Structure 1
Amino acid sequence: MPPQYPQPLPRSPYNPVWNLVAIVILLWGVQMVNVGLFDGRLILNGIYPRQLDELQGILWAPFLHGNFGHLLANTFPIIILGGLVMLGKAEDFWVVTGLSALASGLGTWLIGAPNSIHIGASGVVFGYFGYLLLRGYFDRSAFAVTSSMLVIIFYGSFLWGVLPNQPGVSWEGHLFGFIGGGFSAWLLSKSAR
């Protein structure tokens, strides 16, 4: 009887791109439920700066959008920039997403305008932007530097979004999301070394 060798395990059908697809589906699902069942009132669960009893808004704000146009404006950058983040390691995607959302929310809660409410996934979008922009500096690999240069060429105008130049836009969320993404680039490149 010939010797039996262990059979290789079948390849997993899991593809990290499904993480990105799931996020987009979740965002659109929340918006449909918000409009269809709650008449848009879920946005009241956003971030209220410096109100201790409203700290949970930091968790909910990235999933809430004022209207479908607001959500659409965040969807394409999430897909494109989030996809570029995912080209690295799939685990890095979740670290960047989590740190960007947390930094964006906390920063907005700390310095946001009083008597305002902040919602939207743009803090995470700016986190992806900050991560991709600064990853080239921290990693110094050819791939990271090339992706940083492409991001600055195609999305460089995003830098204006971290300034208080548009009424009704949470520049605080953008700024701190960007900082969270930059911190992620530093943290992940340092741990890789």
Structure 2
Amino acid sequence: MENEQQLQFKSSIIIIPTLFVLVIWIIYWVEIQFGFNFNKFGIFPRTFQGFRGVFLTHFIHGDAKHLFNNSIPLFVLMTGVFYFYREIATKVLVFGAFFTGLLTWIIARESYHIGASGIIYLLFSFILFSGIIRKQYRLMAFSFIVIFLYGSMIWYVLPIEEGMSWEGHLSGFLVGGILSLLYRNKGIVNNEYQFSPSEIDDFFDENGNLIEDLNEKV
């Protein structure tokens, strides 16, 4: 049972991020192949019709460059979250995506907001602050790697480039930080050594008494 669970866990690390990236590429291919324009299904702030974008915006991209620029960091960050925070990774992704979209719908300019950038900033922020809050060397090291690779993204939570949804970036960054606080005591990966029954038996004699000289068993 344990081996089966470990296999499922290892599979989810790669499968879920791969499927997510694959889906957004397929959706874009459908747009190009059949001449559709899904931008109208993005977030349009503070309108009832635009609220559907809260759920759909992360799967819609304006062009191939936009999609390609999002695909690599999305895959890397999502894989990291599913590896280091396996117990809460799905919650972080699902709840984080929803509240990122919702906050964007509330605060953004009156325009269509599309793309998975909000999720990228959500995961970036969650990993960054979670590693610092938990004070675990592996998580902090991963946080610093993320900073090294994607630290320049922080500037894009500000309106410094026309045509870019900085509100979506800011929303994801804020939601990720909040989730890192809410889940600060959950989802920690512990690789503590587990003794097998045969190894435990080595510490006891045939009468069930603890062997005093354990140096021979080391």
TM above 0.5 = yes
Other structure's SS at 2:144 match: helix
- Equivalent residue, structure 1, for 2:46: 50
Q: Distance in 1 between matches of 2:2 and 2:150?
A: 41
What's the C-alpha RMSD, in Å, of the aligned pairs? 1.9
Matches within 5 A, 1:56-135: 56-114=52-110, 116-135=111-130
Equivalent pairs, count:
184
Q: Residues 9 and 128 (structure 1 numbering): CA distance in 2 closer, same or farther, change over 3 Å?
A: closer
Gapped regions of structure 2 (runs ≥ 5): 189-218
What residue is the counterpart of 2:27 in the other structure?
30
CA distance in 2, matches of 1:32, 1:91: 33
1:110-167 CA deviation, whole Å, 9 max, x = no partner? 11112x1000000000011001110112211111111112212221101101111110
- d(CA) in 2 for partners of 1:107, 1:120: 15
Q: Is the 8 A contact 2:88 2:186 kept in 1?
A: no
Question: Which structure has the greater CA radius of gyration?
Answer: 2
Provide the C-alpha distance between the structure 1 equivalents of 2:103 and 2:176, rounded to a whole number of angstroms.
13
**What is the deviation of 1:21?**
0.9
TM-score by length of 1: 0.88
> Following the alignment from structure 1 to structure 2, what is the Cα–Cα distance between the partners of residues 74 and 33?
18
Runs of 4+ in 1 over 6 A off after TM superposition: none
Separation of aligned partners in 2, 1:136 and 1:83: 15
**Corresponding letter in the other structure for 2:25:** W
RCO higher in structure (CA 8 A, sep ≥6): 1
Q: Which runs of 5+ in 1 are unaligned?
A: 1-7
- Determine what percentage of the aligned residue pairs are the same residue: 31
